[in-house]
Chain A
Amino acid sequence: MQLFGEIFGAIYLYLDSMAFLFLSAVGLIIILGMMGITNLAHGEFMMLGAYTAVLATRAGLPFPISVVFASLMVGLFGMVLERLIIRRFYGNLLQSLVATWGISLIISQGMLVLMGPSLQTIRMPLGGITVAGKAYAAYRLLLAVIAIGLLIVMWYVFHRTKFGMRARGAMQNAEIAEAMGINTSRMYQFTFGIGSALAGFAGALYAPTTVLAPLYGASFLAPAFVTVVVSGGANVIQGALITSVLLGIIEGTSSRLYGTFIGRMALLAAAMVILRVLPTGISGYLETRGERAR
Protein backbone atom coordinates (compact mmCIF):
# COMPACT_ATOMS: atom_id res chain seq x y z
CA MET A 1 0.00 0.00 0.00
CA GLN A 2 2.82 2.33 0.84
CA LEU A 3 4.53 1.51 -2.43
CA PHE A 4 1.33 2.27 -4.30
CA GLY A 5 1.14 5.60 -2.49
CA GLU A 6 4.71 6.41 -3.50
CA ILE A 7 4.02 5.52 -7.12
CA PHE A 8 0.82 7.51 -7.19
CA GLY A 9 2.59 10.48 -5.65
CA ALA A 10 5.30 10.35 -8.28
CA ILE A 11 2.83 10.03 -11.15
CA TYR A 12 0.84 12.93 -9.74
CA LEU A 13 3.93 15.09 -9.62
CA TYR A 14 5.09 14.19 -13.10
CA LEU A 15 1.67 14.64 -14.65
CA ASP A 16 1.35 18.00 -12.95
CA SER A 17 4.71 19.12 -14.28
CA MET A 18 4.11 17.85 -17.80
CA ALA A 19 0.59 19.27 -17.99
CA PHE A 20 1.80 22.73 -17.01
CA LEU A 21 4.67 22.67 -19.50
CA PHE A 22 2.43 21.44 -22.29
CA LEU A 23 -0.51 23.77 -21.64
CA SER A 24 1.66 26.83 -21.20
CA ALA A 25 3.85 26.08 -24.23
CA VAL A 26 1.38 24.86 -26.83
CA GLY A 27 0.12 28.31 -27.88
CA LEU A 28 3.66 29.64 -28.11
CA ILE A 29 4.79 26.65 -30.16
CA ILE A 30 1.95 27.00 -32.65
CA ILE A 31 2.69 30.68 -33.22
CA LEU A 32 6.42 30.06 -33.55
CA GLY A 33 6.08 27.01 -35.77
CA MET A 34 3.59 28.55 -38.16
CA MET A 35 4.60 32.16 -38.26
CA GLY A 36 8.21 32.28 -37.08
CA ILE A 37 7.22 34.78 -34.41
CA THR A 38 8.51 34.30 -30.89
CA ASN A 39 5.78 35.87 -28.84
CA LEU A 40 7.48 37.28 -25.76
CA ALA A 41 4.09 38.55 -24.58
CA HIS A 42 2.88 34.96 -24.23
CA GLY A 43 3.24 35.07 -20.44
CA GLU A 44 1.24 38.29 -20.32
CA PHE A 45 -1.45 36.66 -22.46
CA MET A 46 -1.61 33.89 -19.86
CA MET A 47 -1.81 36.50 -17.12
CA LEU A 48 -4.67 38.22 -18.96
CA GLY A 49 -6.45 34.88 -19.25
CA ALA A 50 -6.02 34.28 -15.53
CA TYR A 51 -7.30 37.74 -14.63
CA THR A 52 -10.28 37.48 -16.96
CA ALA A 53 -11.24 34.08 -15.57
CA VAL A 54 -10.94 35.23 -11.96
CA LEU A 55 -12.89 38.43 -12.51
CA ALA A 56 -15.59 36.61 -14.48
CA THR A 57 -15.91 33.99 -11.75
CA ARG A 58 -16.16 36.68 -9.10
CA ALA A 59 -18.86 38.35 -11.19
CA GLY A 60 -20.86 35.18 -10.86
CA LEU A 61 -20.04 33.01 -13.85
CA PRO A 62 -19.35 29.33 -13.14
CA PHE A 63 -15.60 28.68 -13.30
CA PRO A 64 -15.61 26.45 -16.43
CA ILE A 65 -17.57 29.08 -18.35
CA SER A 66 -15.13 31.73 -17.14
CA VAL A 67 -12.24 29.68 -18.54
CA VAL A 68 -13.89 29.47 -21.95
CA PHE A 69 -14.76 33.15 -21.81
CA ALA A 70 -11.17 34.07 -20.90
CA SER A 71 -9.78 31.98 -23.79
CA LEU A 72 -12.10 33.66 -26.25
CA MET A 73 -11.29 37.14 -24.97
CA VAL A 74 -7.53 36.61 -25.10
CA GLY A 75 -7.87 34.99 -28.53
CA LEU A 76 -9.77 38.01 -29.79
CA PHE A 77 -7.23 40.33 -28.21
CA GLY A 78 -4.47 38.41 -30.00
CA MET A 79 -6.20 38.72 -33.36
CA VAL A 80 -6.58 42.47 -32.98
CA LEU A 81 -2.94 42.77 -31.92
CA GLU A 82 -1.84 40.71 -34.93
CA ARG A 83 -3.69 43.00 -37.29
CA LEU A 84 -2.41 46.20 -35.68
CA ILE A 85 1.17 45.34 -34.75
CA ILE A 86 2.48 41.80 -35.18
CA ARG A 87 1.96 41.52 -38.93
CA ARG A 88 4.40 44.34 -39.55
CA PHE A 89 7.21 42.18 -38.23
CA TYR A 90 6.82 38.91 -40.12
CA GLY A 91 10.10 37.50 -41.32
CA ASN A 92 12.14 39.67 -39.01
CA LEU A 93 13.03 37.72 -35.89
CA LEU A 94 14.78 40.48 -33.99
CA GLN A 95 12.16 43.15 -34.63
CA SER A 96 9.37 40.78 -33.72
CA LEU A 97 11.12 39.95 -30.44
CA VAL A 98 11.42 43.62 -29.55
CA ALA A 99 7.83 44.32 -30.60
CA THR A 100 6.33 41.46 -28.58
CA TRP A 101 8.54 42.31 -25.64
CA GLY A 102 7.25 45.88 -25.80
CA ILE A 103 3.69 44.55 -25.88
CA SER A 104 4.42 42.42 -22.82
CA LEU A 105 5.70 45.46 -20.89
CA ILE A 106 2.69 47.55 -21.85
CA ILE A 107 0.27 44.81 -20.82
CA SER A 108 1.92 44.04 -17.49
CA GLN A 109 2.47 47.69 -16.50
CA GLY A 110 -0.99 48.61 -17.76
CA MET A 111 -2.54 45.91 -15.61
CA LEU A 112 -0.50 47.12 -12.65
CA VAL A 113 -1.98 50.58 -13.08
CA LEU A 114 -5.50 49.27 -13.64
CA MET A 115 -5.69 46.42 -11.17
CA GLY A 116 -3.09 47.08 -8.52
CA PRO A 117 -0.16 44.90 -7.49
CA SER A 118 -2.04 41.67 -6.83
CA LEU A 119 -5.41 40.06 -7.23
CA GLN A 120 -7.02 37.75 -4.78
CA THR A 121 -7.56 34.54 -6.61
CA ILE A 122 -10.38 32.05 -6.37
CA ARG A 123 -10.38 28.80 -4.47
CA MET A 124 -9.20 25.75 -6.28
CA PRO A 125 -12.26 23.84 -7.43
CA LEU A 126 -12.99 20.17 -6.76
CA GLY A 127 -11.25 19.89 -3.37
CA GLY A 128 -8.93 17.02 -2.60
CA ILE A 129 -8.73 13.29 -2.86
CA THR A 130 -6.86 10.99 -0.52
CA VAL A 131 -4.75 8.18 -1.88
CA ALA A 132 -2.88 5.87 0.49
CA GLY A 133 -3.18 8.35 3.31
CA LYS A 134 -1.95 11.37 1.39
CA ALA A 135 -4.07 14.24 0.09
CA TYR A 136 -3.90 15.37 -3.51
CA ALA A 137 -5.65 18.22 -5.31
CA ALA A 138 -8.23 16.71 -7.62
CA TYR A 139 -8.08 19.85 -9.75
CA ARG A 140 -4.43 19.21 -10.67
CA LEU A 141 -5.38 15.75 -11.85
CA LEU A 142 -8.12 17.31 -13.93
CA LEU A 143 -5.55 19.66 -15.46
CA ALA A 144 -3.51 16.67 -16.58
CA VAL A 145 -6.61 15.16 -18.17
CA ILE A 146 -7.33 18.46 -19.91
CA ALA A 147 -3.76 18.61 -21.21
CA ILE A 148 -4.11 15.13 -22.71
CA GLY A 149 -7.49 16.05 -24.15
CA LEU A 150 -6.09 19.22 -25.70
CA LEU A 151 -3.21 17.24 -27.16
CA ILE A 152 -5.66 14.90 -28.89
CA VAL A 153 -7.77 17.79 -30.15
CA MET A 154 -4.72 19.63 -31.50
CA TRP A 155 -3.43 16.51 -33.19
CA TYR A 156 -6.82 15.98 -34.78
CA VAL A 157 -7.09 19.57 -35.96
CA PHE A 158 -3.61 19.64 -37.46
CA HIS A 159 -3.60 16.20 -39.04
CA ARG A 160 -7.19 15.36 -39.83
CA THR A 161 -8.89 18.58 -40.89
CA LYS A 162 -8.48 20.66 -44.02
CA PHE A 163 -7.67 23.70 -41.94
CA GLY A 164 -4.81 21.78 -40.31
CA MET A 165 -3.52 20.55 -43.63
CA ARG A 166 -3.50 24.06 -45.05
CA ALA A 167 -1.85 25.36 -41.91
CA ARG A 168 0.91 22.76 -42.21
CA GLY A 169 1.29 23.64 -45.88
CA ALA A 170 1.57 27.35 -45.13
CA MET A 171 4.13 26.48 -42.46
CA GLN A 172 6.28 24.54 -44.92
CA ASN A 173 6.08 27.03 -47.77
CA ALA A 174 3.99 30.16 -47.32
CA GLU A 175 4.63 31.57 -50.78
CA ILE A 176 3.45 28.41 -52.58
CA ALA A 177 0.46 28.12 -50.26
CA GLU A 178 -0.48 31.67 -51.20
CA ALA A 179 -0.07 30.82 -54.90
CA MET A 180 -2.43 27.86 -54.34
CA GLY A 181 -5.18 30.25 -53.33
CA ILE A 182 -4.73 30.04 -49.58
CA ASN A 183 -5.12 33.41 -47.92
CA THR A 184 -2.03 33.19 -45.72
CA SER A 185 -2.57 36.62 -44.22
CA ARG A 186 -5.95 35.55 -42.84
CA MET A 187 -4.52 32.21 -41.81
CA TYR A 188 -1.75 33.94 -39.83
CA GLN A 189 -4.25 36.14 -38.07
CA PHE A 190 -6.34 33.11 -37.20
CA THR A 191 -3.27 31.19 -36.04
CA PHE A 192 -2.15 34.02 -33.82
CA GLY A 193 -5.66 34.11 -32.43
CA ILE A 194 -5.58 30.38 -31.65
CA GLY A 195 -2.14 30.66 -30.05
CA SER A 196 -3.34 33.58 -27.93
CA ALA A 197 -6.55 31.78 -26.98
CA LEU A 198 -4.49 28.78 -25.84
CA ALA A 199 -2.35 31.11 -23.72
CA GLY A 200 -5.51 32.57 -22.20
CA PHE A 201 -6.85 29.05 -21.67
CA ALA A 202 -3.70 27.93 -19.84
CA GLY A 203 -3.62 31.11 -17.76
CA ALA A 204 -7.28 30.74 -16.80
CA LEU A 205 -6.85 27.08 -15.87
CA TYR A 206 -3.90 27.81 -13.60
CA ALA A 207 -5.46 30.93 -12.07
CA PRO A 208 -6.79 29.09 -8.99
CA THR A 209 -3.41 27.49 -8.31
CA THR A 210 -1.40 30.63 -7.75
CA VAL A 211 -1.37 34.19 -6.51
CA LEU A 212 -2.08 36.56 -9.36
CA ALA A 213 -0.05 39.66 -10.05
CA PRO A 214 0.35 41.75 -13.22
CA LEU A 215 4.04 40.90 -13.34
CA TYR A 216 3.34 37.21 -13.06
CA GLY A 217 3.49 36.76 -16.82
CA ALA A 218 7.25 36.51 -16.77
CA SER A 219 7.17 33.49 -14.51
CA PHE A 220 4.63 31.88 -16.82
CA LEU A 221 6.77 32.61 -19.83
CA ALA A 222 10.02 31.04 -18.63
CA PRO A 223 8.99 27.36 -18.53
CA ALA A 224 6.84 27.75 -21.65
CA PHE A 225 9.74 29.33 -23.45
CA VAL A 226 12.16 26.60 -22.42
CA THR A 227 9.75 23.95 -23.68
CA VAL A 228 9.38 25.68 -27.03
CA VAL A 229 13.08 26.27 -27.56
CA VAL A 230 13.95 22.71 -26.65
CA SER A 231 11.23 21.40 -28.93
CA GLY A 232 12.27 23.35 -32.04
CA GLY A 233 11.44 22.06 -35.51
CA ALA A 234 8.23 22.36 -37.39
CA ASN A 235 6.33 19.36 -36.12
CA VAL A 236 4.33 21.32 -33.60
CA ILE A 237 2.26 18.73 -31.78
CA GLN A 238 4.86 15.98 -31.65
CA GLY A 239 7.50 18.44 -30.47
CA ALA A 240 5.32 19.90 -27.73
CA LEU A 241 4.40 16.42 -26.49
CA ILE A 242 7.87 14.88 -26.39
CA THR A 243 9.46 17.97 -24.90
CA SER A 244 6.91 18.52 -22.17
CA VAL A 245 7.08 14.85 -21.17
CA LEU A 246 10.87 14.87 -21.07
CA LEU A 247 11.22 18.19 -19.28
CA GLY A 248 8.32 17.25 -17.01
CA ILE A 249 10.21 14.18 -15.85
CA ILE A 250 13.37 16.20 -15.25
CA GLU A 251 11.61 19.00 -13.41
CA GLY A 252 9.34 16.62 -11.52
CA THR A 253 12.20 14.45 -10.32
CA SER A 254 14.39 17.29 -9.18
CA SER A 255 11.64 19.22 -7.45
CA ARG A 256 10.52 16.01 -5.73
CA LEU A 257 14.01 15.49 -4.40
CA TYR A 258 15.24 19.03 -3.83
CA GLY A 259 12.24 21.40 -3.98
CA THR A 260 10.64 23.68 -6.57
CA PHE A 261 13.51 26.11 -6.92
CA ILE A 262 16.01 23.42 -7.82
CA GLY A 263 13.34 21.93 -10.09
CA ARG A 264 13.19 25.16 -12.08
CA MET A 265 16.99 25.30 -12.19
CA ALA A 266 17.16 21.72 -13.43
CA LEU A 267 14.70 22.64 -16.18
CA LEU A 268 16.96 25.41 -17.44
CA ALA A 269 20.09 23.29 -17.11
CA ALA A 270 18.45 20.45 -19.03
CA ALA A 271 17.42 22.88 -21.75
CA MET A 272 20.99 24.10 -22.09
CA VAL A 273 22.38 20.59 -22.31
CA ILE A 274 19.78 19.43 -24.83
CA LEU A 275 20.34 22.44 -27.07
CA ARG A 276 24.10 21.94 -26.86
CA VAL A 277 23.71 18.37 -28.11
CA LEU A 278 20.76 18.94 -30.45
CA PRO A 279 21.00 22.54 -31.68
CA THR A 280 17.78 22.30 -33.73
CA GLY A 281 15.79 21.00 -30.77
CA ILE A 282 14.23 17.61 -30.23
CA SER A 283 11.62 17.82 -32.94
CA GLY A 284 14.14 19.36 -35.33
CA TYR A 285 16.50 16.48 -34.63
CA LEU A 286 13.82 13.85 -35.23
CA GLU A 287 12.90 15.57 -38.45
CA THR A 288 16.39 15.66 -39.97
CA ARG A 289 17.03 12.12 -38.79
CA GLY A 290 13.79 11.03 -40.46
CA GLU A 291 14.84 12.70 -43.69
CA ARG A 292 18.26 11.08 -43.65
CA ALA A 293 16.72 7.66 -43.13
CA ARG A 294 14.83 7.93 -46.42
Chain B
Amino acid sequence: MLRLKQLTSGYGSVPVVRDLSLDIKAREITVILGRNGVGKTTLMKTIIGVLPTMQGSITFKNTDVTKWSASRRARFGMGYVPQGRGIFPRLTVEENLLMGEFINIDSGGERLYDKVYSIFPRLDERRRQKGGTLSGGEQQMLAIGRALVGNPNLLILDEPSEGVQPSIVQDMVPILKGLMEELGLTILVVEQNLDFAMSLADRCYVMDRGTIVAELDKSEMTDSERVRRYLAI
Protein backbone atom coordinates (compact mmCIF):
# COMPACT_ATOMS: atom_id res chain seq x y z
CA MET B 1 0.00 0.00 0.00
CA LEU B 2 2.71 2.44 1.02
CA ARG B 3 6.39 1.82 0.44
CA LEU B 4 9.14 4.12 1.67
CA LYS B 5 12.54 3.51 0.17
CA GLN B 6 15.68 4.97 1.72
CA LEU B 7 13.78 8.11 2.57
CA THR B 8 15.68 11.17 3.75
CA SER B 9 13.98 14.45 4.59
CA GLY B 10 14.05 17.34 7.02
CA TYR B 11 13.96 21.09 7.32
CA GLY B 12 16.18 23.28 5.21
CA SER B 13 19.28 21.21 4.53
CA VAL B 14 19.25 19.39 7.87
CA PRO B 15 18.02 15.82 7.51
CA VAL B 16 15.80 14.62 10.35
CA VAL B 17 14.59 11.39 8.77
CA ARG B 18 17.55 9.41 7.47
CA ASP B 19 17.64 6.54 5.02
CA LEU B 20 14.34 5.13 6.24
CA SER B 21 12.76 2.17 4.48
CA LEU B 22 9.36 0.78 5.41
CA ASP B 23 6.56 -1.24 3.90
CA ILE B 24 3.02 -0.53 5.10
CA LYS B 25 0.70 -3.41 4.26
CA ALA B 26 -2.89 -2.88 3.20
CA ARG B 27 -5.70 -3.46 5.72
CA GLU B 28 -3.40 -3.41 8.70
CA ILE B 29 -2.79 -1.01 11.51
CA THR B 30 0.88 -0.15 11.59
CA VAL B 31 2.21 1.76 14.57
CA ILE B 32 5.57 3.50 14.69
CA LEU B 33 6.75 4.02 18.25
CA GLY B 34 9.34 6.55 19.19
CA ARG B 35 10.28 9.09 21.79
CA ASN B 36 9.97 12.83 21.31
CA GLY B 37 12.26 14.27 18.70
CA VAL B 38 13.19 11.12 16.81
CA GLY B 39 11.58 12.45 13.63
CA LYS B 40 8.11 10.90 13.76
CA THR B 41 6.22 14.04 12.74
CA THR B 42 8.84 14.86 10.10
CA LEU B 43 8.29 11.39 8.66
CA MET B 44 4.50 11.87 8.61
CA LYS B 45 4.81 15.26 6.95
CA THR B 46 7.12 13.81 4.33
CA ILE B 47 4.70 10.98 3.61
CA ILE B 48 1.76 13.32 3.11
CA GLY B 49 3.92 15.74 1.14
CA VAL B 50 3.97 19.01 3.07
CA LEU B 51 7.72 18.44 3.49
CA PRO B 52 9.75 17.65 0.36
CA THR B 53 11.65 14.40 0.05
CA MET B 54 15.41 15.00 -0.11
CA GLN B 55 16.36 11.47 -1.12
CA GLY B 56 14.64 8.17 -1.66
CA SER B 57 11.14 7.47 -2.86
CA ILE B 58 7.55 7.12 -1.71
CA THR B 59 5.28 4.69 -3.50
CA PHE B 60 1.56 4.77 -2.73
CA LYS B 61 -0.96 2.41 -4.35
CA ASN B 62 1.79 1.27 -6.74
CA THR B 63 2.34 4.82 -7.93
CA ASP B 64 5.49 6.84 -7.33
CA VAL B 65 4.22 9.96 -5.53
CA THR B 66 7.61 11.27 -4.37
CA LYS B 67 7.34 14.48 -6.36
CA TRP B 68 3.62 15.05 -5.87
CA SER B 69 2.24 17.99 -3.90
CA ALA B 70 0.42 17.30 -0.64
CA SER B 71 -2.93 18.23 -2.17
CA ARG B 72 -2.45 15.78 -5.01
CA ARG B 73 -1.54 12.98 -2.62
CA ALA B 74 -4.63 13.73 -0.55
CA ARG B 75 -6.79 13.62 -3.66
CA PHE B 76 -5.21 10.28 -4.48
CA GLY B 77 -6.31 8.77 -1.18
CA MET B 78 -4.18 9.85 1.78
CA GLY B 79 -6.15 11.02 4.80
CA TYR B 80 -4.16 12.87 7.45
CA VAL B 81 -4.88 13.50 11.13
CA PRO B 82 -2.12 15.90 12.21
CA GLN B 83 -0.41 16.19 15.55
CA GLY B 84 -2.33 18.66 17.68
CA ARG B 85 -5.31 17.85 15.44
CA GLY B 86 -5.06 20.92 13.18
CA ILE B 87 -8.73 21.82 13.42
CA PHE B 88 -9.73 25.03 11.61
CA PRO B 89 -10.69 26.98 14.74
CA ARG B 90 -13.03 29.50 13.12
CA LEU B 91 -14.84 27.08 10.86
CA THR B 92 -17.84 25.18 12.20
CA VAL B 93 -17.75 21.43 12.80
CA GLU B 94 -19.73 20.94 9.62
CA GLU B 95 -17.37 23.16 7.61
CA ASN B 96 -14.34 21.39 9.04
CA LEU B 97 -15.75 18.11 7.77
CA LEU B 98 -16.48 19.63 4.36
CA MET B 99 -12.81 20.60 4.10
CA GLY B 100 -11.97 16.90 3.95
CA GLU B 101 -14.11 16.11 0.97
CA PHE B 102 -11.28 16.38 -1.55
CA ILE B 103 -9.47 13.44 0.00
CA ASN B 104 -9.52 10.53 -2.42
CA ILE B 105 -11.69 12.51 -4.83
CA ASP B 106 -9.72 11.08 -7.76
CA SER B 107 -11.27 7.64 -7.44
CA GLY B 108 -14.72 9.17 -7.09
CA GLY B 109 -15.72 7.15 -4.02
CA GLU B 110 -18.75 8.16 -1.98
CA ARG B 111 -18.52 10.82 0.74
CA LEU B 112 -19.07 9.52 4.24
CA TYR B 113 -20.69 12.39 6.15
CA ASP B 114 -23.48 10.24 7.59
CA LYS B 115 -21.01 7.56 8.54
CA VAL B 116 -18.82 10.07 10.40
CA TYR B 117 -21.79 11.51 12.26
CA SER B 118 -22.95 8.05 13.25
CA ILE B 119 -19.51 7.02 14.54
CA PHE B 120 -19.12 10.33 16.39
CA PRO B 121 -22.59 11.44 17.52
CA ARG B 122 -20.94 14.22 19.53
CA LEU B 123 -20.02 15.91 16.25
CA ASP B 124 -23.61 15.67 15.07
CA GLU B 125 -24.76 17.52 18.19
CA ARG B 126 -22.18 20.25 17.63
CA ARG B 127 -22.48 20.75 13.86
CA ARG B 128 -22.82 24.52 14.02
CA GLN B 129 -20.27 25.07 16.76
CA LYS B 130 -16.86 26.55 15.87
CA GLY B 131 -14.06 23.97 15.78
CA GLY B 132 -11.95 25.99 18.19
CA THR B 133 -14.55 25.70 20.95
CA LEU B 134 -14.49 21.89 21.13
CA SER B 135 -12.67 19.92 23.83
CA GLY B 136 -9.44 18.08 23.00
CA GLY B 137 -11.23 14.75 22.57
CA GLU B 138 -13.95 16.24 20.43
CA GLN B 139 -11.35 17.95 18.26
CA GLN B 140 -9.62 14.61 17.82
CA MET B 141 -12.91 13.05 16.68
CA LEU B 142 -13.38 15.97 14.31
CA ALA B 143 -9.87 15.58 12.90
CA ILE B 144 -10.43 11.87 12.33
CA GLY B 145 -13.87 12.53 10.88
CA ARG B 146 -12.48 15.19 8.56
CA ALA B 147 -9.93 12.74 7.17
CA LEU B 148 -12.60 10.05 6.88
CA VAL B 149 -15.35 11.84 4.97
CA GLY B 150 -13.30 11.58 1.81
CA ASN B 151 -13.16 7.79 2.20
CA PRO B 152 -9.35 7.54 2.08
CA ASN B 153 -7.37 4.39 1.37
CA LEU B 154 -4.68 5.25 3.89
CA LEU B 155 -5.35 7.03 7.17
CA ILE B 156 -2.30 8.60 8.80
CA LEU B 157 -2.51 9.67 12.45
CA ASP B 158 0.20 11.67 14.19
CA GLU B 159 0.07 11.07 17.96
CA PRO B 160 -3.71 10.82 18.23
CA SER B 161 -3.54 10.21 22.00
CA GLU B 162 -1.75 13.47 22.74
CA GLY B 163 -3.82 15.91 24.80
CA VAL B 164 -6.84 13.62 24.88
CA GLN B 165 -8.24 12.25 28.12
CA PRO B 166 -7.40 8.56 28.72
CA SER B 167 -10.98 7.24 28.52
CA ILE B 168 -11.40 8.73 25.04
CA VAL B 169 -8.01 7.35 24.01
CA GLN B 170 -9.27 3.88 24.89
CA ASP B 171 -12.51 4.51 22.95
CA MET B 172 -10.46 5.25 19.88
CA VAL B 173 -9.04 1.73 19.69
CA PRO B 174 -12.25 -0.11 18.72
CA ILE B 175 -13.30 2.78 16.49
CA LEU B 176 -10.08 2.67 14.47
CA LYS B 177 -10.11 -1.14 14.31
CA GLY B 178 -13.74 -1.09 13.19
CA LEU B 179 -12.95 1.44 10.47
CA MET B 180 -10.12 -0.67 9.18
CA GLU B 181 -12.34 -3.71 8.88
CA GLU B 182 -15.48 -2.03 7.65
CA LEU B 183 -13.92 0.32 5.10
CA GLY B 184 -10.90 -1.78 4.21
CA LEU B 185 -8.75 1.06 5.45
CA THR B 186 -5.01 0.96 5.96
CA ILE B 187 -3.93 2.85 9.05
CA LEU B 188 -0.54 4.26 9.97
CA VAL B 189 -0.06 5.73 13.45
CA VAL B 190 2.96 7.28 15.13
CA GLU B 191 2.76 7.28 18.90
CA GLN B 192 4.66 7.40 22.13
CA ASN B 193 1.78 6.18 24.28
CA LEU B 194 2.84 2.57 24.71
CA ASP B 195 -0.42 1.06 25.97
CA PHE B 196 -2.46 2.72 23.25
CA ALA B 197 0.02 1.59 20.61
CA MET B 198 0.00 -1.99 21.92
CA SER B 199 -3.75 -2.36 21.93
CA LEU B 200 -4.01 -0.91 18.43
CA ALA B 201 -1.17 -2.35 16.38
CA ASP B 202 -1.10 -5.29 14.00
CA ARG B 203 2.49 -4.46 13.32
CA CYS B 204 4.80 -2.24 15.27
CA TYR B 205 8.07 -0.53 14.48
CA VAL B 206 10.43 1.41 16.69
CA MET B 207 11.93 4.63 15.42
CA ASP B 208 15.03 6.29 16.77
CA ARG B 209 17.27 9.07 15.44
CA GLY B 210 15.41 9.40 12.20
CA THR B 211 15.20 5.79 11.16
CA ILE B 212 13.51 2.47 11.93
CA VAL B 213 15.62 0.50 14.41
CA ALA B 214 13.40 -2.52 15.14
CA GLU B 215 10.27 -4.34 14.17
CA LEU B 216 8.22 -5.92 16.91
CA ASP B 217 5.99 -8.87 16.20
CA LYS B 218 2.85 -9.73 18.17
CA SER B 219 4.65 -11.75 20.86
CA GLU B 220 7.27 -9.09 21.38
CA MET B 221 4.62 -6.44 21.68
CA THR B 222 3.13 -8.14 24.71
CA ASP B 223 6.59 -8.33 26.25
CA SER B 224 6.41 -4.74 27.37
CA GLU B 225 9.77 -4.92 29.14
CA ARG B 226 11.45 -5.47 25.83
CA VAL B 227 9.54 -2.66 24.19
CA ARG B 228 10.47 -0.31 26.96
CA ARG B 229 14.07 -1.20 26.48
CA TYR B 230 13.81 -0.36 22.78
CA LEU B 231 12.29 2.95 23.61
CA ALA B 232 14.81 3.45 26.41
CA ILE B 233 12.18 5.12 28.51
Contact = CB atoms under 8 A, between A and B. Distances in A.
Interface of A: 162, 165-166, 168-169, 172-173, 175-185, 234-235, 291, 294
B91 A178 contact: no
Interface of B: 48-50, 69-72, 74-75, 80, 82, 86, 88-91, 95, 98-100, 102-103, 105, 132-133, 146, 150
B133 A181 contact: no
Given A169-B91, A172-B88, A182 B99 contact: yes
A293 to B, nearest CB: 10
A184 B49 CA distance: 13
Nearest to A177: B99
The list of the 5 closest CB pairs from A to B, nearest first, reads: A181-B102, A181-B74, A176-B86, A178-B70, A179-B80
B82 A179 contact: yes
Nearest to B147: A180
Contacts of B70: 175, 178-179
A182 B71 contact: yes
A184 B99 CA distance: 13
Contacts of B48: 179
A291 B130 CA distance: 11
Nearest to A291: B132
A81 B16 CA distance: 35
Contacts of B74: 178-181
Nearest to A287: B90
Contacts, number: 73
B75 A181 contact: yes
B80 to A, nearest CB: 5
Given A175-B50, A179-B48, A294-B133, A184 B71 contact: yes
A178 B132 contact: no
Contacts of B132: 291, 294
A179 B98 CA distance: 14
Given A169-B88, A173-B88, A180 B82 contact: no
Contacts of A173: 86, 88
Contacts of A178: 49-50, 69-71, 74
Nearest to A164: B95
Most buried by B among A169, A172, A181, A184: A181
B99 A172 contact: no
A165 B97 CA distance: 11
Given A168-B88, A181-B105, A234-B90, A176 B82 contact: yes
Contacts of A176: 80, 82, 86, 88
Most buried by B among A169, A175, A176, A294: A176
A8 B65 CA distance: 65
B166 to A, nearest CB: 25
Contacts of B71: 178-184
Contact of B99 (A166, A175, A185, A294): A166
Given A175-B70, A184-B71, 6 more contacts: A173-B88, A175-B50, A176-B88, A179-B70, A180-B80, A181-B72
A294 B89 CA distance: 13
Contacts of B69: 178, 183, 185
A294 B133 CA distance: 7
B79 to A, nearest CB: 9
Contacts of A294: 132-133
B206 to A, nearest CB: 26
Nearest to B80: A179
A181 B98 contact: no
B120 to A, nearest CB: 18
